[in-house]
Amino acid sequence: MNTTLKVLLSVFFVILCGSPIWYHTMTVHQTKLPTNKLLNLSSSANPKISIQIKLLFDEQILKTQNKDPFLSKVKKEVTKLSKEFQQEFLTFQINTQAIKLKKDYNNMNDPKKITKFLEESLSFHKEKENQKEKEKENNTEMFEPKYTLVLLNIPNLSEGIYLPPTGRLIWINLGESTNEDNLLNNLRNFFPIFGCITNTTKFTTQTDDLHLSFILLNQDPRGRVLNWEFEEAFNYYLQPTLEKLNKRFSEITFDSEMIAYADLEHFRVHKSNEANRNNEKGVHYSISKKTLRRVIQIGEWSSSVATNKPVLRFILFVPGQKFTPLFINKNSGKNRDAFIVPGIGGISIHNLNKSETQLLNKNDLRRSFLVFANQMRLFLGIKNLEKFNYYDPSNVIHDIELDMLILDTLIKNLNEAKHSLVSLHTLIEELPYMEIPEEIGTHIQNAINEIQFSESNMKKKNYKSAYFSSKRAIEDCNRAFFNPSISSQLYFEMQNRFAIYIPIFLPMLAPLITKLFKQISSF
Amino acid sequence: MYHLKYGEIGRYSPPGGELIATFETKEDLESKFRTVSRKISGIFGTSQKFSDLTISAQPFYTEFNSLESTSQRTHYSSLPREPVCTENLTPWLKLLPCRSKAGLASLLNPIKLYDLFYHSMSVEVTRSQENSLSFHQQLLLVVELKEFKFSQIFGTPLIGPICPFSSQTKIQIEGFSDYSSFTPTPEEIGNNQVGFILKENLNNKKDFNLHYSPKENTNNNGYNHNNIGNGNSNNGNDNNNNFNNNGINDENISKNQSIKLNRFLKESGKIRGGVITQITNLEKNDLHLTLYDSLPWFMRVYFHTLTIKSNFENKEIEITDLNLEREQDNESNLFANQASLLRIQTSQDHGRPSIFELALVLKPGETFQISVDYLKGFLNFEEHPFDGNRGFDIAPAIVSMHGKKQNLKKRIYYTDSLLLMLPTPDFTMPYNVMTITTTAFLIWYGSFLNNLTGRAGLKLKKKSKAKWIIKPDKF
């Protein structure tokens, strides 16, 4: 064997031995994931949530009917109705019963008194106390979607569905007409409450924890330095709702601030002599609704608050003397004085009357705070339904709405968690060269455990624990999905690696290979 | 040492950024401080989120505020390299109710502001014993004063409106000997100061101008040199509102100063060095001071080399190791000796800084020179900043004056910050390695390929004139 051949063979020997070492250095570490569990979870359906509705009829309504056949007929019809509204995760169990209410309530016309009367008559207050005792014993808050629907006929009160602020007792006033059609119509109007949550107006779908920032924005403080009794107004109008939300749903914090000097550059302000919203004649100013649509960010109207949560701003805008009174001009209909900017918050315009002093007290702030309360409902995703009487404006969120919010969020969290786990699994499968550190494996395992825990709690009807487990599951999924180690990697397939090395080594190897062939052929 | 240069007119800040946080309880201070530093970082657009355990510490014997016994619950960090600019000014202004739209804050033009001799801004939030919160914002500027016109000083005229949220907007002037020469006439005249109260019905068109017309009898321009350095007292009559700043006059400055501070590095190569801090008592009474010095972990301090020398004595001053529990001591125990070592914290690599705290008693006119040696650490390639050869900024030391006996206000003084040159790795090495290895490889490969691929051919060799020999040859 001549020297040339020896050299060539040694070169190729080195390449042969070095290639596995090179290939080994190219492999990436991927931690083992519980793929089977993951796939089983994703394919399994969420346990259904059963909502129990007890339908109570006042015997007076049934005077003209045969009691038992009527009740069973109504039950059948209502069950049919409920199936129309049944969603993937909700099922209804309906029971009907006739009751005799002791007092003559027909002459009442105050919804609050009627609610109180019903609670006493049906021993609801006793149930509430029993529930509180049970909660103290178990050291947890019970949450059972059981609702009592009472049908009454009160001629002095408007027809419709009345939602009391607290408790799971709802009553429907059939008015003067107690026939079957009217009854079924009213029941048909009732069921949409179980679908009252929507994502269209929700402030953010990423998280339920929010920070509320209340701002008093005095456009031109010259001559009138404003102050507001924020604490009193907040404690009266919004504090009970926030307490309810913090206890059962999410962590919501708040702050307040007073800012002066703001410009109206974003909005085109028109001067008008037409009658204003109170039908008073005189000069007033208006912003067209079209201009509002173009507002993307408020800029200097925002507060300076540092928080990790999304900030939802409620701005009480007091226009300067130059632009008072200021309204939002709807194309047809009344002038308005409040609007929302998606992603930022809600604004309410407060035109100072001449009689108002520079201190806005609780009563002066009533209208604006109720507007904020309604805007908060929109941002939480709660719809205002037709035929429902929200007769207590100080109560922002009713118990049944909060129940639906929790259940809707629970199901959404579970679906999202499963979906993101499956996406992550698919991504890992498609990119075998993506490094998966141990940390991600731990988060995925935790997410799976939380989802399983949540589902088992749903089967036991412990929806509160199920909800908080689902929240933790989402957090773990996000930590896995948005782990910094994934985003910093460049994913090279093997073909790409060859494409990097070939331009270097091929020109080097080409003459060696041709020389080798020549040597071999010369033999 | 800005108080020496510009006078004691406010609380100066050290260069860069500083965060002092006092918490209600001692538990879990570090994680609470980390949360606070991140939020402050977000609000003011600073790099306070980098105030981790390698930089921050607890000064036990420095009282930053007037509340007693807070030092055990106080966490402190300093970022001397932090640049202060418009992105910090804007959120600072946003905290004001009128922001920069009205009042004195409307004068703050960033272009002019950051062109001044000195500027610092601070926010102080304190809770009183009655549990009420007070929020204090201070902006300290040192301006070259040629004319007393706001448009000249700040680049923006003060044309109103006045912020209606303020109970009073006042321009206070100190340091002049003759206040009657000011027009308009000041509303408040006090000892060595006057005040001009701005009202809401300010003339919107003209800049609010102060005119100073010194009387004929005065030899100087009326300016009292005792406070802010204006060394030359013989400027002559100047009726044109021109003030000449002719530099620092040490004699005049020291008349109203309490201490003089100096701090510098005693460099000796790339391996070791020393830090020297000089403190001079300019008062007529004894001064009780505490010195807090925090040196980063890559300055490996040899605490046995900690020495204190005095200009009054030839030998070194004995440092008494007090080793006291903080709750047990009181001021008299701390200052019982001339120099007492209150606390030492050794550093941990990538963990925590070196700290020492001393209690010193200086006689009038005495100068203490405190020196300590260190060994320079060698940092990893990735730990150096992008401009590695610039050096590392070392936070200033803090001198705290404790003055119950002398009825002095408790004051905090900062020394200068230092610039430490650490031994740097050769940042061109990765390039060098790549270059050398590829060159060596190519040289080998080139000659190898040449040998392999060279053709066997005939080489003509001339042996004599008569004969030609044909000889096969390889190349």
CATH code, domain with A167: 3.40.390
Mean local confidence (pLDDT), B60-82? 75
Q: Does the distance separating the beta carbons of A225 and B165 come in below 8 Å?
A: yes
Number of separate domains in chain B? 2
Residue B330 is part of a domain; what is its CATH number?
Answer: 2.60.40.740
The answer on pLDDT for B222 being more than 50 is: no
Lowest-confidence range among A54-68, A436-450, B278-292?
A54-68
The model's pTM is 0.79
Same structural domain for residues B86 and B221? yes
Same structural domain for residues A302 and A164? no
- Buried b vs exposed e over B26-52: b needs ≥16 C-beta within 10 Å? eeebeebbbebbbbbbbbbbbebebbe
Q: What is the span of the domain harbouring residue A355?
A: 210-381
Q: A346, A365, A381 — which closes off a domain? A: A381
Mean local confidence (pLDDT), A9-27? 85
* pLDDT, tens digit, 9 for 90 and up, residues B294-330: 999 999 999 999 999 998 887 788 888 876 554 455 6
Same structural domain for residues B135 and B201? yes
**pLDDT tier, B220 (very low <50, low <70, confident <90, very high otherwise):** very low
Mean local confidence (pLDDT), B344-357? 92
More confident residue, A297 or B418: B418
The answer on pLDDT for A473 being more than 90 is: yes
Considering the domain boundaries, does residue A74 fall inside one? yes
Nearest to A145 by CA among A447, A411, A451: A411
What is the Cα A83 distance to its own chain's centre?
A: 25
Lowest-confidence range among A44-58, A395-409, B144-158, B330-344?
B144-158
Considering the domain boundaries, does residue A517 fall inside one? no
Q: Which residue of A has its CA nearest to B445?
A: A508
Number of separate domains in chain A? 2
pLDDT of residue A127: 66
Helices assigned H by DSSP within A27-144: 35-43, 67-85, 111-121, 124-138
pLDDT of residue A153: 82
Nearest to A439 by CA among A491, A483, A488, A487: A483
Same structural domain for residues A224 and A364? yes
Same structural domain for residues A306 and A224? yes
pLDDT of residue B330: 61
Nearest to B348 by CA among B282, B301, B418: B301
pLDDT of residue B109: 84
Q: A356, A381, A406 — which closes off a domain? A: A381
Best of A219, A259, A302, A515 to disrupt the B interface (most B CBs within 10 Å) is A259
Q: Which residue of B has its CA nearest to A299?
A: B94
Please indicate if any CB of chain B lies within 8 Å of the CB of A509: no
The answer on pLDDT for B473 being more than 60 is: no
Q: Which residue of B has its CA nearest to A260?
A: B98
Lowest-confidence range among A46-55, B175-184, B304-313, B418-427?
B175-184
Q: What is the span of the domain harbouring residue B171?
A: 2-16+82-231
Considering the domain boundaries, does residue B248 fall inside one? no
Same structural domain for residues B409 and B351? yes
Mean local confidence (pLDDT), B78-107? 86
Distance between A205 CA and the closest CA of chain B, angstroms:
24
From the list B42, B97, B448, which residue is nearest A260 (CB)? B97
Q: Which residue of B has its CA nearest to A227?
A: B165
Q: Does the distance separating the beta carbons of B97 and A511 come in below 8 Å?
A: no
Mean local confidence (pLDDT), B370-385? 91
Same structural domain for residues A98 and A224? no
Considering the domain boundaries, does residue A482 fall inside one? no
Same structural domain for residues B309 and B353? yes
Same structural domain for residues A275 and A343? yes
Best of A211, A261, A508 to disrupt the B interface (most B CBs within 10 Å) is A261
The answer on pLDDT for A438 being more than 70 is: yes
Question: Which residues in A lie closer than 8 A to residue B95 (C-beta atoms)?
Answer: 304
Considering the domain boundaries, does residue A18 fall inside one? no
Please indicate if any CB of chain B lies within 8 Å of the CB of A515: yes
- Buried b vs exposed e over A476-492: b needs ≥16 C-beta within 10 Å? bbbbbbebeebeeeeeb
Same structural domain for residues B120 and B190? yes
Q: A197, A219, A238 — which closes off a domain? A: A197
CB A335 within 8 A of CB A329: yes
* pLDDT, tens digit, 9 for 90 and up, residues A499-518: 888 887 888 788 788 888 88
Q: B420, B440, B462 — which closes off a domain? A: B420
The answer on pLDDT for B214 being more than 70 is: no
Same structural domain for residues A269 and A193? no
CB A421 within 8 A of CB A42: yes
Considering the domain boundaries, does residue B101 fall inside one? yes
Distance between B350 CA and the closest CA of chain A, angstroms:
23
Q: B231, B250, B279 — which closes off a domain? A: B231
Same structural domain for residues A373 and A331? yes
Residues 6 or more apart in contact with residue A368 via CB below 8 angstroms: A316, A338, A348, A350
Mean local confidence (pLDDT), B11-15? 80
Q: Does the distance separating the beta carbons of B452 and A8 come in below 8 Å?
A: yes
Task: Find residue B281's DSSP bridge partners.
Answer: B259
Same structural domain for residues B343 and B408? yes
More confident residue, B245 or A127: A127
Give how far Cα B377 sits from Cα of B270, B301, B312, B385, Å: 9, 10, 36, 15
Residue A221: both structure tokens together:
């403080």
Distance between B174 CA and the closest CA of chain A, angstroms:
31
Give how far Cα A328 sits from Cα of A216, A288, A299, A324, Å: 19, 6, 20, 12
Residues 6 or more apart in contact with residue A91 via CB below 8 angstroms: A48, A49, A50, A51
Same structural domain for residues B220 and B264? no
**pLDDT tier, B226 (very low <50, low <70, confident <90, very high otherwise):** very low
More confident residue, A471 or A386: A471
Lowest-confidence range among A217-226, A366-375, B420-429?
A217-226
Residue position matching structure tokens 């020398």: B309
Nearest to B257 by CA among B114, B119, B117, B411: B411
Same structural domain for residues A179 and A60? yes
Q: Which residue of B has its CA nearest to A514?
A: B453
Same structural domain for residues A170 and A240? no
Question: Which residues in A lie closer than 8 A to residue B165 (C-beta atoms)?
Answer: 221, 225, 258, 260
Residue A381: both structure tokens together:
């995703």
Considering the domain boundaries, does residue B71 fall inside one? no
Considering the domain boundaries, does residue B53 fall inside one? no
